[in-house]
Amino acid sequence: MANTSRSRPDAPLPPIQLDPAIRNQSLRVRAGLRAAILDGLLPPGTRLPSSRDLSRTLGIGRNAVVAAFEHLISDGLIEARHGSGTFVSPQLPPAQQTATAPDLALAYGKRPPFALGQTHVEPDFLARLGAATRRAIALARPADLAYGDPRGTRHLRTQIAETLAANRGIRCDPDCIIVVTGTQHGLRLCADALLTPGDTAWFEDPGYNVSRATLTAAGMTLAPVPVDAAGLDVAAGIANAPNARAVYVTPSHQFPTGVRMEMTRRAALIDWAEATGAWVFEDDYDSEFRYSGPPLTALAGLSPNRVIYLGTFAKTLFPGLRLGYIVVPPDALERVLRARPALDRFQPAFLQNAVADLLADGTVATHLRRNLRRYRAARDLVAQCIVETSEGRLTPDVPEHGLHLIAWLPAGTSTATATEIRSAAGVETLLVSETRMQQGEREGFVLGFSGHAPEDLRIAATALGRAALTTLSSSGGGTN
């Protein structure tokens, strides 16, 4: 802190703090005076010491002080009055106290057991990704340094097209693939481009909360369509909202129930979409994580003209990568690309090409196979702990697909009781009722098991099972 003795009776030394990290003397004085002015320590109209007095007191060269004054005059923070001196601008608004940001730890960066969408990333994979990224930067062409193609790099789109053809039965031109930051980015982009605010869209009930929020934010009117053991009930959708302009569906692994949409329902959905001109937004939720049997054919493989396929690397690799993709029918491609610049300016070419290299050389496939074994073990661990510790009060639905399971409560258990169990267990987990738009028949806990340490999962599952046992026993709840 500078010496606070007065240089002249009518020009007190302002209480400024000089930051030694700022190497340039003029910028150091400017920053100190600016902070004192904006913080209200030097109120509007305050007369400042002369440059000579301030230089002497601060131990700063006079030329540096003069230059600092000139900068502040350019900023409009101070003004020089001929024959009178230098003053803090009287036009400045009153100083405002700096607002404190809210604590968002629960929303960002926290990974409690059972949190959905977590992944495991091995150091070896990160090393390979780093090497591939450095290589892409070193070999960058002029086009890679610009904004680039709004569809993404040709290299990545080609690799995605080959992967989709081999694993999901989607035969598409790489030029119909658009690289985005993730599923929600792609969904919002398509909604903005192809729909009009106020349009009705079918939405699975129960369904994926995040996508529901995305479509609502885009101005869509959502019509809940029930999901049963065969998937989305197309007949119910037609009966309730026959003139809907779109449908959001997770047919290969429905969120949260995990059911697979049967072929009769798929065919009915496609027939309806083609007859009405509606768009089908196919979110291939966790489709890559299949623990037995071959990969399933996507809806987009059955109807390339009305289905928009939404995929992401958030689960196969990790969410922080911020890479996803959409497969758009040729007739819709131009409209979607025209809408894109209003949302973003595309992903870096370096990272796209690095990921494409790892897709091409099999690194991503190897990473996925290793994680499938790890996630299967985590799934079985959670299910076993739930069964043992709840003594039958909770029934885990062990999936053959995906990264979460549902631990069902006995029929008739209320949401209030489920909330009480969750609170008693001290775990953060989604209730099935929290994914519904309308009241459902049965309650349960949606438990993510991927990307968490086994011991953390064991502790959380044990706590949930014991809480269910205690709460349901005391309330008379029996076994399923």
pLDDT at 477: 62
Sign of the Cα pseudo-torsion (379, 382, 385, 388, in order): negative
Between CA 163 and CA 165 the distance in angstroms is: 5
pLDDT at 119: 96
pLDDT band at 5, cuts 50/70/90? very low
pLDDT at 15: 66
The arithmetic mean of pLDDT across residues 343-360, rounded, is: 94
> What secondary structure letter does DSSP report for 8?
B
What strands, in cross-sheet order, belong to the sheet with 221-228?
Answer: 177-180, 324-327, 307-312, 279-283, 246-249, 200-205, 221-228, 231-232
Q: How many CB atoms lie within 10 A of CB 29?
A: 27
pLDDT at 294: 77
Q: Contact 123/68 with Cβ under 8 angstroms?
A: no
What amino acid occupies position 308?
I
- Closest to 358 (Cα-Cα) out of 127, 114, 14: 127
- 3-class DSSP state of 389: helix
- Strand segments, DSSP code E, in 307-370 are 307-312, 324-327
Fold of the 371-475 domain: Aspartate Aminotransferase, domain 1 (3.90.1150)
More confident residue, 143 or 215: 215
* pLDDT at position 105 over 70: no
- Closest to 222 (Cα-Cα) out of 234, 196, 242, 204: 204
Between CA 46 and CA 49 the distance in angstroms is: 10
Between CA 442 and CA 231 the distance in angstroms is: 17
Burial of 171 (0-12, 13-18, 19+ CB in 10 A): exposed
Per-residue pLDDT tens over the stretch 115-148: 999 999 999 999 999 999 999 999 999 988 999 8
Tokens of 123: 């150091």
DSSP for 70-92, please give it. Answer: HHHHHHTSEEEETTTEEEE-TTP
Residue at token pair 């008693």 = 424
pTM: 0.86
Per-residue pLDDT tens over the stretch 226-235: 999 999 999 9
Fold agreement between 25-88 and 149-345: no
**Domain coordinates in residue numbering, the chain:** 25-88, 149-345, 371-475
Percent of the chain with pLDDT over 90: 80
Between CA 454 and CA 381 the distance in angstroms is: 8
Phi, psi of 314 (to 5 degrees): -60, -35
Report the chain's mean pLDDT, rounded to a whole number.
92
* pLDDT at position 11 over 60: no
pLDDT at 237: 98
Q: Contact 300/309 with Cβ under 8 angstroms?
A: yes
Judged by average pLDDT, the poorest of 13-17, 59-63, 417-421, 460-464 is 13-17
Phi, psi of 430 (to 5 degrees): -85, 140
Per-residue pLDDT tens over the stretch 460-470: 999 999 999 99
Judged by average pLDDT, the poorest of 76-80, 109-113, 150-154, 388-392 is 109-113
Phi, psi of 290 (to 5 degrees): -115, 120
The arithmetic mean of pLDDT across residues 87-105, rounded, is: 78
Assign 3-class secondary structure to 213-261: HHHHHCCCEEEEEEEECCEECHHHHHHHCCCCCEEEECCCCCCCCCCCC
CATH architecture of 25-88: Orthogonal Bundle (1.10)
- 3-class DSSP state of 423: helix
Domain 149-345 has CATH 1.10.3720.10: no
DSSP for 265-299, please give it. Answer: HHHHHHHHHHHHT-EEEEE-TTTT-BSSSPPPPPH
* pLDDT at position 12 over 90: no
